[in-house]
């Protein structure tokens, strides 16, 4: 390159200087022209330094990326560019080893560019090392691409981990829902047999409240796993925030300021209003807990068009139109370690007993279940910003009521019963007994069955009408949908009410999440079962 190769008396190769060019390189005229042509087309440069590490030449198109001209640094010492004379500094140490005859390679950042160097000792005609010849290549784009691949890889691993945890959470939630239905139902039935002033009734009431809290946790687990049954509809996030901001102010207290900035004429999104309200509440509570005493929380909505993939946003966020929900606080912020585990269920930075660790896991699951993406920006001491991107739907936003305002459910004593015949199918013995007892108390004729096969046998042996089939969705051998189809082929006037503690994905695979199907979600109260049974029978009567 800068010198021709010769063999010494012992056969060793060495770089021998040729006639000196005006740039200081040892080259012949023809070789110098070829050398300059090559360097003019490569994203790199070549330089030589003497034994004192003073530049003797610098050539190549790659210098322009460093805002340097060819030959500009000639006469300057390398240590002046580095700003250090520490011999342990890697570039310095590599040049010293090259002066000892040992070729070197290393990477460094110079003037904002990532560079890769190759160093060779430079010999004179006698084989004496007179300096170092270095070749540098600009690898900035390659390093940026490598960093981006590493970031995407980390995102993929995190998504896979959360998906695996979500599947586990969904299975656990199903088992909990079955148990909680039995616990809540039997407690309420036991409470009915006690007098109003009975001391035991107060204890039962507290146990039911605790079971209700456990039921809320199972819903959060299903939401995290994106397996909760949802009812999406076109809605405006700005209107939803306007309805619940009073409740949000009560949640955060008087020492924290809540600012809302909702864009008018906000585009509509397709989402479950109850889930989005839960997302908003959880994010605001999380922001409140990150503020020590006084602080500020900002909630903002805006229309956003992403023309192309944006640096710093997940690769899954495709170009298009979105509505962005931003919740920002000026609290304590979080470290990279905490941010990496933020959405894992049961992970919390709070003291023992102060949190379940499901709030942000629920947010993650609900956002993704509604087709959105969530991004977190945070630094220690600089607060946190949660950005949620929901795809736009071309439909007029429906007016929806706040999901937190539910009318109180009537007690079982207040529910109307009937004398119709109900075929009850449930493969969980405790649940079968509870539902059987509840419906029998309301006056229905109940035919309890522990499997779909038993239900079909019971139907074939019965000469009278079966007014309603109440069946679990997921059962061994034959699921609830298949049972309903076979039964209605023989008894077309029979109404059907499905029940399940599984999440949306499992129920959808069973073919139940279609228009016209009634679904009672576990855990349910006896009064809820009574209400849904009466509703299904009422619709059957109207059809008849």
What confidence tens digit (pLDDT) does each residue in 268-296 have?
998 888 778 888 888 998 899 888 878 99
Lowest mean pLDDT among 209-213, 349-353, 446-450, 498-502: 349-353
Q: What is the pLDDT of residue 253?
A: 82
Q: Tell which wins on pLDDT, 437 or 6.
A: 437
pLDDT > 60? residue 152: yes
The model's confidence at residue 21, banded by pLDDT at 50, 70 and 90, is very low
**Per-residue pLDDT averaged across 224-245, rounded?**
74
Strand partners, 235: 269
Q: Tell which wins on pLDDT, 87 or 449.
A: 449
- pLDDT of 56-71, one tens digit each? 988 888 888 788 888 8
Q: Tell which wins on pLDDT, 498 or 16.
A: 498
**Quick one: which of 308, 307, 306, 301 has its CA closest to 323?**
301
Q: What is the pLDDT of residue 159?
A: 66
pLDDT > 70? residue 420: yes
- pLDDT of 433-459, one tens digit each? 989 988 998 899 999 999 999 999 999
The model's confidence at residue 223, banded by pLDDT at 50, 70 and 90, is low
pLDDT > 80? residue 427: yes
Cβ(288)–Cβ(251) below 8 Å: yes
**Per-residue pLDDT averaged across 485-498, rounded?**
91
Q: What is the DSSP letter of 410?
A: P
The model's confidence at residue 22, banded by pLDDT at 50, 70 and 90, is very low
**Per-residue pLDDT averaged across 240-255, rounded?**
84
pTM here? 0.44
pLDDT > 80? residue 421: yes
Q: Tell which wins on pLDDT, 199 or 124.
A: 124
Pairing status of strand 55-59 against strand 256-262: unpaired
Q: What is the pLDDT of residue 334?
A: 87
Strand partners, 373: 389
Residues 6+ apart with CB under 8 A from 9: none
Q: What is the pLDDT of residue 11?
A: 45
pLDDT > 60? residue 428: yes
Most confident of the following: 317-321, 466-470, 535-539: 466-470
Give ∠ CA 128-134-138 in degrees, rounded to 5: 175
**Per-residue pLDDT averaged across 190-200, rounded?**
73
pLDDT > 70? residue 317: yes
Q: What is the pLDDT of residue 259?
A: 92
- pLDDT of 402-412, one tens digit each? 444 344 455 55
Q: What is the pLDDT of residue 170?
A: 63
Q: What is the pLDDT of residue 539?
A: 86
**Per-residue pLDDT averaged across 89-93, rounded?**
92
Q: What is the pLDDT of residue 19?
A: 41
Mean pLDDT of the chain: 79
Burial class of residue 206, CB neighbours in 10 A (0-12, 13-18, 19+): exposed
Cβ(18)–Cβ(27) below 8 Å: yes
Backbone angles phi, psi at 290, to 5 degrees: -85, -10
Q: What is the pLDDT of residue 528?
A: 86
Lowest mean pLDDT among 58-72, 145-159, 402-416, 518-532: 402-416
Q: Is 498 helix (H, G, I), strand (E, B) or coil?
A: strand
Cβ(247)–Cβ(407) below 8 Å: no
**Percentage of the chain lying above the pLDDT 90 cut:** 25
Neighbour tally for 159: CB within 10 Å: 13
**Quick one: which of 134, 84, 81, 78 has its CA closest to 104?**
134
The model's confidence at residue 311, banded by pLDDT at 50, 70 and 90, is low
Structural element, H or E, at residue 258? strand 256-262
Sheet holding 55-59, edge to edge: 55-59, 44-50, 129-138, 113-123, 104-110
Distances from the Cα of 511 to the Cαs of 42, 172, 477, in angstroms? 62, 22, 16
């Amino acid at each position: 390159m800068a010198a021709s190769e010769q063999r010494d008396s012992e056969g060793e190769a060495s770089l021998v200087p040729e006639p000196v060019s005006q740039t200081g390189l040892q080259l012949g005229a023809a070789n110098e022209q070829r050398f300059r042509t090559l360097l003019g087309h490569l994203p790199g440069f070549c330089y030589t330094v003497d034994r004192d590490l003073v530049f003797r030449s610098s050539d190549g198109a790659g210098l322009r990326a460093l805002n340097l001209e060819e030959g500009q640094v000639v006469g300057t010492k390398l240590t002046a560019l580095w700003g250090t004379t520490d011999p342990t500094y890697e570039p310095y140490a590599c040049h010293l080893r090259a002066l000892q005859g040992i070729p070197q390679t290393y990477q460094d950042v110079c003037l904002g560019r990532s560079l890769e160097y190759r160093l060779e000792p430079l010999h004179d005609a006698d084989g004496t090392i007179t300096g170092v010849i270095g070749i540098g290549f600009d690898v900035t784009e390659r390093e940026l691409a490598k960093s981006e691949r590493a970031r995407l890889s980390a995102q993929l691993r995190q998504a896979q981990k959360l998906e695996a945890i979500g599947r586990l959470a969904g299975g656990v939630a199903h088992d909990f829902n079955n148990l909680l239905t039995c616990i809540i139902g039997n407690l309420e039935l036991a409470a009915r047999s006690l007098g109003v002033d009975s001391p035991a009734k107060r204890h039962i009431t507290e146990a039911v409240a605790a079971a209700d809290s456990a039921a809320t946790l199972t819903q959060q687990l299903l939401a995290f796993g994106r397996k909760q049954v949802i009812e999406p509809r076109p809605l405006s996030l700005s209107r939803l925030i306007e309805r619940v901001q009073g409740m949000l102010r009560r949640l955060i207290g008087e020492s924290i300021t809540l600012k809302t900035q909702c864009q008018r004429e906000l585009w509509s999104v397709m989402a479950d209003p109850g889930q989005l309200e839960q997302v908003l509440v959880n994010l605001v509570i999380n922001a409140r807990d990150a503020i020590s005493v006084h602080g500020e929380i900002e909630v903002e909505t805006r229309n956003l068009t992403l023309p192309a993939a944006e640096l710093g946003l997940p690769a899954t966020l495709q170009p298009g139109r979105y509505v962005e929900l931003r919740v920002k606080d000026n609290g304590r912020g979080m470290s990279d370690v905490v941010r990496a585990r933020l959405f894992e269920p049961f992970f919390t930075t709070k003291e023992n007993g102060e949190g379940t660790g499901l709030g942000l896991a629920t947010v993650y699951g609900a956002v993704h279940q509604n087709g959105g993406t969530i991004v977190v920006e945070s630094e220690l001491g600089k607060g946190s910003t949660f950005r949620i991107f929901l795809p736009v739907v071309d439909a007029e936003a429906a007016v929806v009521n706040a999901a937190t305002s539910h009318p109180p459910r009537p007690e079982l004593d207040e529910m109307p019963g009937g004398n119709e015949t109900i075929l009850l199918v449930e493969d969980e013995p405790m649940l079968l007994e509870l539902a059987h007892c509840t419906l029998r108390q309301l006056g229905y004729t109940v035919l309890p069955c522990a499997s779909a096969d038993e239900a079909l046998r019971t139907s074939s042996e019965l000469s009278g009408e079966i007014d309603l089939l109440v069946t679990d969705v997921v059962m061994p051998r034959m699921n609830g949908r298949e049972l309903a189809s076979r039964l209605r082929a023989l008894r077309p006037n029979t109404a059907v009410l499905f029940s399940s503690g599984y999440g949306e994905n499992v129920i959808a695979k069973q073919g139940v999440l279609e228009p016209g199907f009634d679904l009672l979600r576990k855990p349910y109260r006896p009064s809820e079962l009574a209400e849904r049974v009466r509703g299904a029978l009422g619709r059957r009567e109207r059809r008849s």
